[in-house]
Amino acid sequence: MTLWAVELALKSVVVAALVLLVLWLLRKRSAADKSFIVHSGFVALLLLVPASLLLPGVSVTPVSGFGASETTALTEEDRQVRDLVTEVELLGPKPVNAAISDPVEAREGAFPLISDEIFAAWGPQFLLAIYAVPAALMLLMIFFNLTGLVRIRQSSDVVQSPEWLSALAKAQADFRFREGAALLMSDKVSSPISWGFIRPVIVIDPETVDVSSDQAAGIISHELAHVIRGDWLKLLISRAAVAVFWFNPLVWHLARAAHQLREEATDDAVLMNGASRTGYAKLLVDAVRHDNTHGVAAAHGVAAGKNSLRQRVERVLDENARRQAMALPAGFGAFFLMLLFAAPVAALTFQEAPEYPPLLAEAPIPTPTPAAAPTPVSAPDVSVMPDVSVRIEGKIAPKVGALENPDLDQLVEAKIHGVTDRYAEEIAMAYPGFDALSLEQLIEFKIHGVQPDWLRGLQKAGFGTLGPHEIVEARIHGINVQFAEEIADAGFPGLDFEELLEFRIMGVTPAYIQSFRDVGYDDLDADDLIEMRVHGVDVRELEKLSNQ
């Protein structure tokens, strides 16, 4: 999950960078064209999440280190076998009583702040919370803004002014907008705003009602242009993309550019409809003095932001600015090209390069001492492993028979699953009789997470004579010291391993046992509890039977 999240973050950077590059290449195009491109980029960003999950992945394994070209023609299995054989050939005899705990302490640290087990269990959840909390808050803010618009509409009054109604009718006729828009007035806004896609709404504040007819026509034309261009839907898409990819600064930059382009494209639409550039620029300057509250952040308004006012006014007064509307074929072509690029990016997955721990503890190759008459030294027999009697924390570990005569296939499998001679020795020290485990049994232990501390816990719970198969069963079903103690405290201290395993498998928990004791059933034995659990009998059914 963590790797998938990192991949998604990198993909969002790639797509956002592409959109910014396209905007720069088309910087001389009209605001309408650039606005459509940047919002197509937002759609591509939002589609990254389902596309990364649904599209067939194209795996790429990152290459680390030098000399990677030497193994390019080899398969992964070939490389494992080659590295393993090289390691076995180079190993010399291990010194007796060599302390193997020191290198581990030096490598991992004497007092690690966070163990690997704790990080593996809680690290991904912690990282997910760091991402999810801001994203959820931003999405919740969008929801609150939308509910604020609903409240504004419900508390608004219909505009009855002939000047405003005439301006609305003329703008709808000029834009050929036949669906119609509701024109309302509310004291909850401080400048005109608009929103909606199917049933659009234009809301003006009480002070704006008294403006001149020319200004009323400019305001209505601006807000109606937002409605016709579908800018409210574009606004919501951009806000959603920012919420999902809040960690990506390029997405925030795109959102600011998208807002500016929506306003500039709307200004162009008003000017192309016959409005005076000077009069419209004065309207923008007058409107910027009235800032709306945050409750209407999910709507468009005629008032320009203080940071963008200069740019918008200069562009309105520029006679040479390109103001043509977007051509539909070109716009949809750019949209599909954006999706065509985003699809392979979404399908791309990164596969972690496998790291195989050494099967044997590293030991220095002995330096030959000068001899009077050197004798030929034969190649080491790889079928015989060196002496593995070593000192672990001041104790002499027994020889581990599983590592004496392994074949090559066993060595490969052991290397893949991380079975080392240290692991075998610690298992032998932790549990009686486990100094003669086979390599297959050690591999099975490693796969199911059997660790020395857990084995010592089983002994503490009174299970010190289990076989390897029973150990694996106990690990699979989660039998540990805590469960055994809880069952004992519930009134069953003398259960053998098979009975405790049946309790775990069938779901006989301390709470289940206590529920019967609470209603007076103190004489139930283990078989009774297991049988009742198998047939789904609980306290409520017993009470029903006793009442009949």
pLDDT in tens, 247-273: 999 999 999 999 999 999 998 989 888
What integer pLDDT is reported at residue 453 of this predicted model? 86
Please answer whether residues 301 and 288 qualify as being in contact, where contact means their C-beta atoms are separated by less than 8 angstroms. Answer: no
- In this prediction, residue 547 has a pLDDT band, given cuts at 50, 70 and 90, of low
Among 87-96, 257-266, 380-389, 504-513, the range with the most confident prediction by mean pLDDT is: 257-266
With 90 as the cut, is the pLDDT of residue 140 above it? yes
- In this prediction, residue 244 has a pLDDT band, given cuts at 50, 70 and 90, of very high
Alpha carbons 227 and 299: distance in angstroms, whole number: 10
202 strand-pairing partners: 183, 194
Say if residue 540 is exposed, middle or buried (CB neighbours under 10 Å; 0-12, 13-18, 19+). Answer: exposed
The string of DSSP letters for 263-279 reads HHHHHHHHHHTT--HHH
Among 84-93, 177-186, 232-241, 328-337, the range with the most confident prediction by mean pLDDT is: 232-241
What integer pLDDT is reported at residue 77 of this predicted model? 55
Task: Mean pLDDT check: name the lowest of 116-125, 377-386, 401-410.
Answer: 377-386
Query: Would you kindly state where each structural domain of the chain is located, as residue ranges?
Result: 1-60+324-354, 77-105+355-363+381-472, 134-302, 477-548
pLDDT mean across residues, the chain = 74
- Identity (one letter) of the amino acid at 440? E
With 80 as the cut, is the pLDDT of residue 295 above it? no
Task: Mean pLDDT check: name the lowest of 11-20, 68-77, 80-89, 390-399.
Answer: 390-399
Q: Where are the beta strands (DSSP E) in 226-308?
A: 300-301
What integer pLDDT is reported at residue 136 of this predicted model? 93
What integer pLDDT is reported at residue 178 of this predicted model? 80
Instruction: Using alpha carbons, select from 320, 295, 303, 348 the residue that is nearest to residue 148.
Output: 295
- Kindly give, in sequence order, each residue whose CB lies less than 8 Å from that of residue 315, ignoring residues fewer than 6 positions away: 264, 267, 321
Alpha carbons 166 and 193: distance in angstroms, whole number: 18
Radius of gyration of the chain (CA): 37
Q: Which backbone phi and psi does 351 adopt, to 5 degrees?
A: -105, 125
Report helix, strand or coil for 21. Answer: helix
Alpha carbons 24 and 21: distance in angstroms, whole number: 5
CATH no. of 134-302: 3.30.2010.10
With 90 as the cut, is the pLDDT of residue 545 above it? no
